[in-house]
Chain A
């Protein structure tokens, strides 16, 4: 099944692969109109990587804190309420989140967050001056953050719950504070599992198409500032595929899909691999 998916995507991309070769991956031009047509994934790769990593940077610590709260701090009753609510956040369809992003989040970010950040941190090039609308890589990252937080949070909660109670009790008996128990016992013993969870979240962020294409503004240049418009691999496919007329345009979009497939498989496989190593270690510890 998986092989068939891979075959079909590469097959669709073959005209573009044979014409542009591997240089496609880094080439940053995108001219769909014949006779000047020329395609490259550089800008999109940049947008994908930047928005996803920023989302992970922002969402990862938040999600792990939520996992800690739900597994170690929250009283039983509160946990029973908040856990399903956090998971519910993952159930919101991306198209609704994206629509909400256009009409609610983007104006707020544009009106308040971006000017504030630019005023205080403007000397760092990534916080450039706000643009005419709130559609930007920054807004897309925030939407992606909302999508990946519940995934990472629920996995890391399960990991933290599996940390043996007697080890924690031992640390407590030695006079460790709660933070020291987390820092010294809980996090080190689950580190690889948390990394695997983060990679799963990253994979989700890299491949998200609809919500991103709604809020990112479909820019076509690489710019340093996060507040500029940009585009991602998945977003470009979703945005242009229905309107693609020439064969080469379609094939190029398929090529983008093939790149995305490779990235997605790599991030998921490495998550599996790291997670499995974690399992072995835990089994060895239990014996």
Chain B
């Protein structure tokens, strides 16, 4: 007992109040960890800024009214129209299907079936897009010719899980009390869905569709199989033919390895990236506002 009192250092009021020894080492380690974490976040943001900045600076050099409106070699007008056409058709296929799948998951499916469908959607979402390209090639292109429709089907397969999972999430947010109220009034199930549930989840469904559109608009791999041999000098709105589109245009120009092609590829990249960033930023802003202010 007496040993303990003698070995403890006497309290020295003049000693600095700075941690020393083990505590100091632990604090330094902790501080180091904080710096690494902060640095990683800054690194990611820096990469984003560098990529977007390069595209904007080099792309704006190529940008002009002619570039946006005319066909090759002056501009990429037909490709812009073609991409809009393909993504539009893909949305027309994927949005109703996706919403229906979302509705099935939240309103109609039993737990077992819902889990199976959800797993399938997640696996589809994780599928490499080039596999979807091979699939569409085998299904719609082989033995026939490339077409914008085949490309739209491929894009729709990519969009479907995004739309379905997104609308499932917003449908889950629809308060149970609304469903109960409709049921208490004797409204049939499908009318409840049509008149109560869908309208209150509409903004969320639109938002997740816009996010899916932003993803699909930049997909290149499936288009290489479905829609890559086209006449890029004229406008074409025929979905049974291959129409020019922006992603494949960028890909082909980047493989050409001459400065003029590169300049045009930067311009096309600028158009594509502005559309995608605007669409996904806007959708995210709406989504964030909706989360903060839940449904009335």
- Is B61 an interface residue when CB atoms closer than 8 A count as contact? no
B277 A88 Cβ-Cβ under 8 A? yes
Whether, in the assembled complex, A167 has its beta carbon less than 8 Å from a beta carbon of chain B, the answer is no
Chain B residue with the shortest CB-CB distance to A13: B134
Q: B135, A238: Cβ atoms under 8 Å?
A: no
Would you give the 0/1 interface string for B19-40, flagging 1 where the beta carbon is closer than 8 Å to chain A?
0000000110110111011111
CB pair B33 A214 closer than 8 Å: no
CB–CB B135/A100 < 8 A: no
When C-beta atoms are compared, the residue in chain B nearest to A182 turns out to be B33
A179 close to B29 (CB less than 8 A)? yes
- Do A66 and B41 touch across chains, with their CB atoms under 8 A apart? yes
Out of A1, A65, A253, A261, name the residue touching B40 (CB < 8 Å): A65
Q: Indicate if the CB atoms of B41 and A82 lie closer than 8 Å.
A: yes
Tell me the interface secondary structure of chain B in the complex.
helix
Q: Which of A19-27, A28-36, A113-121, A145-153 contacts B (4 or more CB under 8 A)?
A: A145-153
Interface residues of B in 218-274 (CB under 8 A from A): 218-221, 224-225, 228-229, 247, 250-251, 254-255, 262, 265-266, 269, 272-273
B48 within 8 A of A: yes
| From A97, A200, A206, contact of B51 by CB (8 A) | A97
B122 / chain A contacts, CB cutoff of 8 Å:
268, 272
Q: Is the CB of B26 within 8 A of A150?
A: no
Is B198 an interface residue, CB under 8 A from the partner? Answer: no
Q: How many A-B residue pairs have CB under 8 A?
A: 207
B128 and A207: CB pair below 8 A?
Answer: yes
A11-B44 contact in complex given A95-B250, A100-B54, A257-B130, C-beta closer than 8 Å: no
Digit string of A51-84 for contact with B (CB within 8 Å is 1, else 0)? 0000000000111011011100110000000101
Q: Is B132 an interface residue (CB 8 A)?
A: yes
Nearest CB of chain A from residue B105's CB, rounded to whole Å: 15
Looking at A2-10, A39-47, A123-131, A223-231, the stretch in contact with chain B turns out to be A2-10
With A8-B135, A65-B37 as known contacts, state yes or no: A91 contacts B130, CB within 8 Å.
Answer: no
Q: Looking at the complex, which one of B26, B217, B284 makes contact with A87 (CB distance below 8 Å)? A: B284
- Hey, which chain B residues are within 8 Å of A214, CB to CB? 251, 254-255
Residues on A with C-beta less than 8 A from B284 are 84, 87
For the complex formed, measure the closest distance between the CB of B70 and the CB atoms of chain A, giving whole angstroms.
22
Contact across chains for A207 and B127 when beta carbons are under 8 A apart: yes
Please determine whether B218 and A234 come into contact, CB atoms closer than 8 angstroms: no
In the bound complex, residues from chain A placing their C-beta under 8 Å from that of B219 are 93
Question: What is the distance, in angstroms, from B79's C-beta to the closest C-beta of chain A?
Answer: 12
**Cβ distance A44 to chain B, nearest Cβ, rounded Å:** 13
Bound complex: CA of A63 vs CA of B273, how far in Å? Answer: 23
Instruction: Indicate if the CB atoms of A206 and B128 lie closer than 8 Å.
Output: yes
- Please, which residues of chain B bring their CB within 8 A of the CB of A162? none
Contacts of B269 in A (CB 8 A): 96, 99-100
Q: Which A residues are CB-close (under 8 A) to B126?
A: 200, 203-204, 264, 267-268, 271
Please judge, given known A-B contacts A210-B221, A241-B224, whether A69 and B41 are in contact too, CB under 8 Å.
yes
Contacts of A207 in B (CB 8 A): 127-131
Task: Name the CB-closest residue of B to A10.
Answer: B138
B43 within 8 A of A: yes
Cα distance A78–B41 in the bound complex, in angstroms? 11
- In the bound complex, how far is the Cα of B264 from the Cα of A103, in angstroms? 13
Asked whether, in the complex, the Cβ of B225 is within 8 Å of the Cβ of A85, the reply is no
Q: Are B41 and A104 in contact (CB under 8 A)?
A: no
Does any Cβ of A come within 8 Å of B276's Cβ?
yes
B interface residues (Cβ-Cβ under 8 A, vs A):
26-27, 29-30, 32-34, 36-41, 43-45, 47-48, 50-52, 54-55, 119-120, 122-124, 126-132, 134-135, 137-139, 142, 157, 214-215, 217-221, 224-225, 228-229, 247, 250-251, 254-255, 262, 265-266, 269, 272-273, 276-277, 280-281, 284
Given A95-B254, A210-B220, 8 other A-B residues pairs in contact with their CB atoms under 8 A:
A66-B37, A91-B218, A92-B52, A96-B272, A96-B273, A204-B126, A214-B255, A238-B224
Return the 10 tightest CB-CB contacts between A and B, nearest first.
A207-B128, A93-B218, A177-B30, A179-B30, A65-B40, A268-B126, A69-B37, A179-B33, A209-B130, A8-B138
15 intermolecular pairs with C-beta atoms under 8 Å apart? A8-B135, A12-B137, A69-B37, A73-B34, A88-B277, A96-B273, A97-B51, A100-B51, A210-B220, A210-B224, A237-B130, A238-B221, A260-B128, A260-B130, A268-B126
